[in-house]
């Protein structure tokens, strides 16, 4: 048993009372060895579990940071593509009025839209939800839903795209996405 523990009055008293019950020195020595081994095992296991938990927490933070960076990078790339489309589509040429539902112009400029949304975006957001505010989560879901709609329209055969869909794409980009410099602030503490 650790000499340090024996300095604690209650432990000293307890051990003294237990050892006084044994008549042979060999029993006392065996008892002290057994208690020492149990205490040593307990401390070793506790230390290992503490270290493992700390390491797991550290790895979890690193994993969440990687996911946050992937989301941010994906959204930055997609938003830049959409803003390029939006500026070219809005400014066809001076003096030309664009009603934003002109299929000819939409189809001409939609080639600038590159959206390839990771199908695991919901899982990624779910994995980092603990470091996001409710508003950030809501905003990310709205962004990804908007992007999914734009992607589905842009991936359609050109002959199947309607004026309403062309206008919907522009409206989403102009009203919802053009103001974003990047997706919500994702900070891992």
**Residue with the larger pLDDT of the pair 77 and 102:** 77
**Residue with the larger pLDDT of the pair 90 and 60:** 60
Query: In the prediction, which pLDDT does 2 show?
Result: 58
The pLDDT-based confidence of 54 (bands split at 50, 70, 90) is: very high
Q: What percent of the chain has pLDDT over 90?
A: 5
Question: Among 133, 158, 128, which Cα is nearest to 64's?
Answer: 128
Instruction: Classify residue 173 by its DSSP letter.
Output: I
The radius of gyration computed from the CA coordinates of the chain, to the nearest angstrom, equals: 33
* CA distance linking residue 142 with residue 176, whole number of Å: 9
Question: Among 94, 65, 90, 96, which Cα is nearest to 169's?
Answer: 90
Query: In the prediction, which pLDDT does 48 show?
Result: 92
Query: In the prediction, which pLDDT does 180 show?
Result: 62
Query: In the prediction, which pLDDT does 7 show?
Result: 72
Assess contact for 5 and 11: CB atoms under 8 A. Answer: yes
Helix, strand, coil shares, percent, the chain, to 5: 75, 0, 25
Q: Crossing angle for the helix pair 25-90 and 134-154, nearest 10 degrees?
A: 50
Question: Among 122, 121, 105, which Cα is nearest to 170's?
Answer: 105
Provide CB contacts within 8 A for 161, sequence distance 6+.
Answer: 103, 106, 107, 153
**Residue with the larger pLDDT of the pair 173 and 55:** 55
Predicted confidence (pLDDT) per residue in 114-157, tens digit: 778 878 888 888 888 877 788 888 888 888 888 888 888 888 88
The pLDDT-based confidence of 178 (bands split at 50, 70, 90) is: low
Q: How many CB atoms lie within 10 A of CB 171?
A: 13
Predicted confidence (pLDDT) per residue in 68-88, tens digit: 888 888 888 888 888 777 777
Assess contact for 189 and 131: CB atoms under 8 A. Answer: yes
């Amino acid at each position: 048993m650790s000499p340090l523990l024996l300095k604690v009055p209650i432990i000293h008293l307890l051990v003294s009372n237990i050892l006084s019950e044994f008549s042979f020195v060999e029993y006392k020595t065996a008892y002290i060895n057994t208690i020492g081994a149990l205490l040593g095992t307990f401390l070793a296991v506790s230390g290992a579990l503490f270290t493992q938990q700390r390491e797991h927490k550290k790895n979890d933070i690193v994993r969440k940071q990687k996911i946050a960076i992937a989301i941010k990078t994906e959204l930055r790339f997609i938003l830049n593509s959409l803003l390029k489309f939006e500026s070219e589509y809005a400014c066809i040429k001076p003096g030309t009025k664009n009603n934003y539902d002109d299929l000819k112009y939409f189809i001409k400029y939609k080639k600038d839209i590159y959206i390839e949304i990771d199908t695991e975006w919901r899982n990624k957001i779910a994995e980092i939800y603990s470091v996001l505010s409710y508003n950030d989560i809501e905003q990310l879901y709205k962004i990804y839903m908007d992007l999914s709609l734009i992607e589905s329209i842009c991936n359609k055969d050109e002959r199947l795209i309607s004026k309403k869909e062309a206008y919907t794409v522009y409206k989403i980009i102009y009203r919802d996405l053009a103001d974003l410099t990047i997706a919500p602030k994702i900070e891992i503490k």
